[in-house]
Structure 1
């Protein structure tokens, strides 16, 4: 009795799983033909009957597969005519919506991404820089060093310096990615870092500027390894400062909850 009951209970789910896998197999096969340009935009897919014969599946499976491909905008069906391959959508530009970077954990995650990118950008900048680029970096660094807390916006000179390094790397993709990350996310989140860690603003800026000087001097010497290390130190220190802020906030939140 027990065996019969188990068999009966499991029977309805098995065909559904098989059916779904078969449809996915048809989608994968046709998608691969589209990617390999065996089927090109504007080409008409074989008829349902032909796909059934080629794939060895039922009409229901074929229709489910076509439905999936329609949803993915790989194909479109023109009633009474057939199903046709669509033009691929334009490639999406890299982007991170600043509105999705909400918590301190989000900010830390973005900073970790910057560490991986900017250390290599600094390495390449030290390897490839020319005299004009070096002069531009020197001017950007001077703007940072001459900035005081009373001057207001301390972010723009910082961002400009980092973007120039990315530009000097000779790889435009470093610049494209860091342009968005640097101007839209990290600066807005770091603007009160000194205040939140109870640091003296002048002392905070002095430490940060010393880190920038180390990066520049390594690029000046055309020392790629030193440039990479200096950039990693600088961004890792920023990460540590933000991590301390996060821990402080969590302790405060926990204390407030306890008192309640």
Structure 2
């Protein structure tokens, strides 16, 4: 049985919430090893993909860290205060969430249209942008521009100029992390690899000319971003 993108994100969030609670209450203390992937799958009744997405989110948040050949462990720094952004960044959060809400509707449909309307050259352009982002992650370079190029390539593949006009109007600020230079995860490899994996799922659906899967993959990508920035807002001092 398969789970669509949105359902997988909900299941991943359930695992994230439960493990975060165990870490924050001390049930899983600093230095403690997390259960293995099969154990987590059995405990939560979810797939390995869901478990890996949840672990990637916890790693991006700095709550856990993998140790080569040993497993995943609770980070030593677990009682740190919430991340405090600059006043300009804090002011940007509501606008960022509004833009993501708009993009979910517009780009979800754009991905679906691209899945059945794209040309071979347009599919190749989406794939090239995806490879470029992977290369930039590997080199430790900023991925904001490559991320934007991926989304723009999807819009171009709709062969509908209005989708392209919208993406070009917003430009690189379409990519939220470009507006938050203080945010550590903006340059965190685990976080960026998760974003890239979401892009890869969108690309695969478009390549296979599956509009429903493409729409769901893009919406799941946007939902994941919304979740990250809502959590960011909750961490700020009142």
The TM tier, using the shorter chain, reads: 0.5 to 0.7
Contact 2:148 2:175 in 1 (8 A): no
TM-score by length of 2: 0.58
Contact 1:120 1:228 in 2 (8 A): yes
With over 3 angstroms needed to count, the CA separation of the structure-2 counterparts of 1:229 and 1:192, relative to structure 1, is: farther
Partner SS for 1:170: coil
TM-score by length of 1: 0.53
With over 3 angstroms needed to count, the CA separation of the structure-2 counterparts of 1:161 and 1:185, relative to structure 1, is: closer
User: When the two structures are aligned, how many residues end up with a matched partner?
Assistant: 149
> In the aligned structure 2, how far is the partner of 1:192 from the partner of 1:221?
38
Residue among 128, 131, 149 paired with 1:160: 149
> In the aligned structure 1, how far is the partner of 2:202 from the partner of 2:182?
23
> In the aligned structure 1, how far is the partner of 2:221 from the partner of 2:182?
17
The 5-angstrom pairing of residues 1-260 of structure 1 reads 102-148=91-137, 151-187=140-176, 188-189=178-179, 193-195=183-185, 201-249=188-236, 253-254=237-238
Partner SS for 1:148: helix
Contact 1:125 1:219 in 2 (8 A): yes
TM superposition shift of 1:122: 0.3
With over 3 angstroms needed to count, the CA separation of the structure-2 counterparts of 1:202 and 1:186, relative to structure 1, is: closer
Contact 1:121 1:169 in 2 (8 A): yes
> In the aligned structure 2, how far is the partner of 1:205 from the partner of 1:184?
17
With over 3 angstroms needed to count, the CA separation of the structure-2 counterparts of 1:217 and 1:193, relative to structure 1, is: farther
With over 3 angstroms needed to count, the CA separation of the structure-2 counterparts of 1:192 and 1:229, relative to structure 1, is: farther
The runs of at least 4 aligned residues of structure 1 exceeding 4 Å deviation read 190-194
> In the aligned structure 1, how far is the partner of 2:137 from the partner of 2:143?
8
Moved more, 211-220 or 180-189: 180-189
TM superposition shift of 1:182: 4.0
TM superposition shift of 1:227: 0.3
**TM-superposition CA deviations, 1:149-206 (whole Å, max 9, x none):** 753321000000000000101111011011222423544325554538xxx8111011
Structure 2 gap ranges (5+):
1-87
Aligned-pair Cα RMSD in Å: 2.2
- Greater relative contact order, per chain length (Cα 8 Å cut-off, separation 6+): 2
Partner SS for 1:103: helix
> In the aligned structure 2, how far is the partner of 1:223 from the partner of 1:240?
26
